[in-house]
Each structure stands twice: as C-alpha cells, then as structure tokens.
Amino acid sequence: MKSKVTVKCPSNIALIKYWGKKDTGIQIPQNPSISWSLSDLTAKTTVKFLPSNCREIKFSYDGVPKESFLPKINEFFKRIEDVLPWVKNGIFEIDTVNNFPHGTGIASSAAGFGALATALLEIENKLDNNTEVFWNKVSEIARLGSGSACRSMFSKPAVWGASEAVKNSSDLYAVELKSPIHTNLQNWKDTVLIVDSGEKKVSSTAGHSLLNGHPYAESRFLQANKNLADLIKVMETGDVERFIKIVESEALQLHAIMMTSIPYYMLMRPNTIAIIESIWKFREETNFPVCFTLDAGANVHLLYSNEIESSVKTFIQTKLLLYCQNAMYLCSETGGKPQIEYYD
C-alpha cells in the first residue's frame, strides 16, 4: 500500500551528556543521559513509500537531491531491518528540511532521525492497521540513526540509558521522566549562541570512540550516573542552584574528556569562554536562574527560566552578541515531541 507521511520533530539538548558507547551493540550508551526537547528547532521530513521487491532510497534536502547523505541513510535502513523487517522491500523517497539555518553548527541529526523514525512507524502502523504510536519503538529506531535522536520523542525530560534512578529506563530507547517537575524548573528556554557555524573538526561519532581506553572514562561514567540521579531529585525539589551546578559541570566534563582524549582536541573557541564568563558574571550580579550548557561544539546553549526572559534578552543583545558569529543566535522553548503533519 502506497503511503506518504510528513513529520515535524524537535531537536534536543542534553543536561546530562551521552558521551561514549558500549561495544555490545549499536549506539548503546556507556551512561544514562537526560535532555530537554527544543520545540522551536525542528526537522520536517516527508517519507513516500511504495512497496517493491527490493529497497531503493532517494534522499533530498528541501527538494534538492543530496547523494552525500545516502551512505548514512542506507546504513540506518540496514540497522533497522531487525526491528522493521518490511523496510527491506520498498521504494522510499525521503525529503527533509530544518527550520534553523544551515551553517549554524547545530547538530540536525537528532531532529532528522527523530522525524524519520516517527514517519516509518506511522507507515508501519498503517500497514498493520494500528492506531497507537509506540513511542518506545520510535525512540529505539531513532537511536539506530543517531544516539541522541532517541530523546526527541517526549515533551517532558527524556532519559536514555539504564539507570537505577529511573524506573523502566533502558539502553535501547529513551523514556519520559515520570517524576513531577518543580515549577522552578518548568518552562525554561534555550538560546543557542552561535560562536562558530563551521563544520566540527571532530565528529561526535569519532569523539565517542575516543572514550575507549580513555584514562578518565570509568570515573566519567560514574559521575554521569551520579549526576543523573542528583539532577532528577533536583528537578523534583526545584533547587535551581544545584541544577545549575550539575548542568554546567556536565558541559565542562564533556569538554574536559575531549581535551584529555588521545588524540586530544578542543572544540571550545575563545568566544565560547568569553560567553561562559559573561553568563557567570550576569548570574553573580543578578542572582537570576540562568546557566549554560554545551554540546559537542563551540556554540553555547543559554538556559533560563521563562520568567526572566526579557532581562535575558537584553543581556544577550548588550553583552553576548559581540561574541556570536554574524550576531547569530537561535531561541527555543523546551519541550515538544514529534507531530504528524500529513498522512495519506
């Protein structure tokens, strides 16, 4: 049966970082991580499916064929054959587009694989006459594309990786955090300050592999487990000061691990540090609930409570924009999950 599905899926930002993979499977994390979805930074993906006796994939970005993406997409389809055997037989026409500009250095793989996984599950549901979306299964498929993509499925914080602190947590897929979130830590926003829009010198996938044999690997995994358990408690009690300490420490641990890998490398740029120091100064002066986190790049994610949005906007305009490449920044609310926009 012929199908066409369009899905819009948010990106996400990790508060506790996934960094390092086990060698026991595909994209099995060494430690649990937790993230907020970024509802305003999305990928929109359309999948057209026609059953056939073999597999053929056509891939385009915003209507323009992109052959360079095909090896990654082909590898993804091979990986998901065990979970979705029907993908062996079909012609797939996939088009994707991000709502954030190219060259902002924002990893689009989380939103992109999240959207593709949701679309494929929708097609499977249609083939099976199912109406319920199984988010754990969507998350598992997304994980096989890019580990962090499996956390883009939930409006509440998403936990990926088995942890004693979270019931039903799994290495195979992410789950929604069920414990209540204190109002102090609801409705936060994320402004991504673009320090460097260029291609990363070391990809995340290469960075993960440098954890094998890393002198600090074991202690980092222990720290991440402990930080996750602490952060979950803090999200319940609303201790913003402690939240900030854990989140900032996680970002710096991630980059410390990069700087102590063999070969060592550094993704932070001078303006990354300048922004971090400005945020610390602003927080000291105002006592406002603001902090930063980093992903595997030079850009800074400024996290802040909704209530102080107008002061933070002024702070960004007056103190941070000078450190951003072409004064570029992106704003998003936290939360959000994949939306099915079209289905036929």
**Where do contacts with ligand DP6 occur on this chain (CB under 6 A)?**
14, 17-19, 27, 33, 107, 109, 146-148, 204-205, 208, 254, 295-296
CB nearer to ligand DP6: pick between 3 and 30: 30
Smallest distance, ligand DP6 to C-beta of residue 17, A: 4
CB nearer to ligand DP6: pick between 22 and 242: 22
Strand partners, 175: 159
Q: How far is CA 41 from CA 45, 114, 131, 179, 284, in A?
A: 13, 12, 27, 26, 30
Smallest distance, ligand DP6 to C-beta of residue 90, A: 24
Q: Which amino acid is at 95?
A: D
Smallest distance, ligand DP6 to C-beta of residue 192, A: 13
CB nearer to ligand DP6: pick between 107 and 290: 107
Q: How far is CA 120 from CA 57, 92, 115, 132, 322, in A?
A: 13, 10, 9, 14, 43
CB nearer to ligand DP6: pick between 48 and 255: 255
CB nearer to ligand DP6: pick between 33 and 45: 33
Which of 274, 280, 278 lies closest to 298, judged by CA? 274
Q: Which residue number has the CB closest to ligand DP6? A: 147
CB nearer to ligand DP6: pick between 90 and 114: 114
Smallest distance, ligand DP6 to C-beta of residue 257, A: 10
Smallest distance, ligand DP6 to C-beta of residue 142, A: 10
CB nearer to ligand DP6: pick between 14 and 279: 14
Q: How far is CA 323 from CA 162, 254, 329, in A?
A: 38, 22, 11
Smallest distance, ligand DP6 to C-beta of residue 203, A: 8
Up-side HSE of residue 121: CA atoms within 13 Å toward CB? Answer: 24
Smallest distance, ligand DP6 to C-beta of residue 156, A: 17
Q: Is 68 helix (H, G, I), strand (E, B) or coil?
A: helix
Helices (H), 129-203: 135-145
Q: What share of the chain is helix, strand, coil (3-state, %, to 5)?
A: 40, 25, 35
